[in-house]
Amino acid sequence: MAKRVYEAWKGNNKFILGGRLIFGPDAKSLLVTLALIIVPMIIFCILVARHLRHEFSSHNAGYAVLVVAIGFTIYVLLLLFLTSARDPGIVPRNAHPPEEALRFDSSASVEIGGRQTPSLQIPRTKDYIVNGVTVKGKYCETCMLYRVPRCSHCSICDNCVERFDHHCPWVGQCIGLRNYRFFFMFVSSATLLCIYVFAMSAFYIKVLMDKNQSTVWKAMKESPASVVLMAYCFISLWFVGGLTGFHLYLIGTNQTTYENFRYRAESRVNAYDRGCCSNFLEVFCTEVKPSRNNFRAFVQEEVHRPVLPSERGAESEMEDLGANPRPKVEDDDLDIGEDLLKISQRRNIELDQDVQSRGSNGTPENSMMVDSPMASGHRAPTIKSENRHSSYVRSGSWEIAPEVLVNSTITERSYTPSSETRS
């Protein structure tokens, strides 16, 4: 039975409900975030908001404090769910590198068996034009694709994500093109919720002071839950409040967290900044793009691409080298070795006849002046066809073995004195 996409997914994501919801690999940390939101709100509703129901001029106006707290909490949890349980903008992987980018690089060739074989290279970057500015997109080895501008590979989820901002462990998901809006709304709403709980807890302490005509310390002792909630919200505001302010700056300048930290030291022109108002409209008023992945679809059978002739030749050559590691010798290589052997033997025979004729007719001095290999009792080295002294490379040049060159030099020396003697 064919598998669905989420069942054969190569990333580190986790799926539930048959691939309808997608989370990051650290989705368990989402439980901690839920506890940090739900537990304080339960304490607030039971020990603080419940006592404020009848503390306003209108007898039932205090119920609004409880309703707002519950409604605001549900809203924050909904934003958290929309942030962590949806596709952040994952770019589907390729089964093969893009064929239009493949090229053979002769400068990076590898010597295989005495031959220069060009290696297959993929350009590391690709240029894009964004608002008149050239932006380089890197090639991803894992996903086998060129990343579009603002796309980056998340090492935790092991996916390329469009408009990658960062991977947030508190929501257990990457923050990218399709969930950045909900992430910011979640953080800013959590900030407002902290402010609301802090204010209502302080107001309850003020109510106790007025009711009992007591000091602040006595009121705090009477409602320790209010003190704990105020301290908790104050500490939380440093995190969620600071994060909200930072992302307001990023939205106003049209940056991502990844770009801000990576290119902060570089004086690089921001090609995406279109003005503060336009940048805010881009984040909050544009339509969220549909996901490029259908996780519930069935996996299509992979269509094997045809093997290129150059690749087939390289594969056969590697097989030959694996079977016989010795360099391959061409037939012409052996023919040249045999020709050099015949030339050397013919010249030695001529010199031998010349020495004999001069020994019978000429003076002894002349015969002693001849430096012949036959006279010294040495013969020229014999070149056998099994010894492959020359090798042919693709440039078309022949390399003659050193033994042949030595033989040729010795023969010329033995012939020169005979010519002088003849004169």
Residues recognised as catalytic: 168
Cα separation, 83 vs 417, whole angstroms: 97
116, containing H or E segment:
strand 115-121
Q: 159-161 and 152-154: which strand pairing?
A: antiparallel
Q: Which two tokens stand for residue 245?
A: 């302010």
**Residue 29: alpha-carbon gap to chain centroid:** 26
35, containing H or E segment:
helix 29-47
Mind giving me the DSSP string for 326-394? SPP--HHHHHHHHHHHHHHHHHHHHHHHHHHHHHHHS-HHHHHH---TTTTT--PPPPPTTS---EE-T
CB of 45 closer than 8 Å to CB of 69: yes
Position 275: which residue type?
G
Q: Which two tokens stand for residue 161?
A: 């994500």
Residue 35's contacts (CB-CB under 8 Å, 6 or more residues apart) are none
**Residues written for the chain:** 423
CB of 6 closer than 8 Å to CB of 296: yes
CB of 152 closer than 8 Å to CB of 294: no
Position 134: which residue type?
T
Q: Which two tokens stand for residue 135?
A: 């932006």
Position 157: which residue type?
C
Cα separation, 403 vs 411, whole angstroms: 12
Residue 66's contacts (CB-CB under 8 Å, 6 or more residues apart) are 45, 49, 50, 52, 53
Q: 145-146 and 21-23: which strand pairing?
A: unpaired
Please name every residue paired with 112 in a beta bridge, in sequence order, or none if there are none.
115
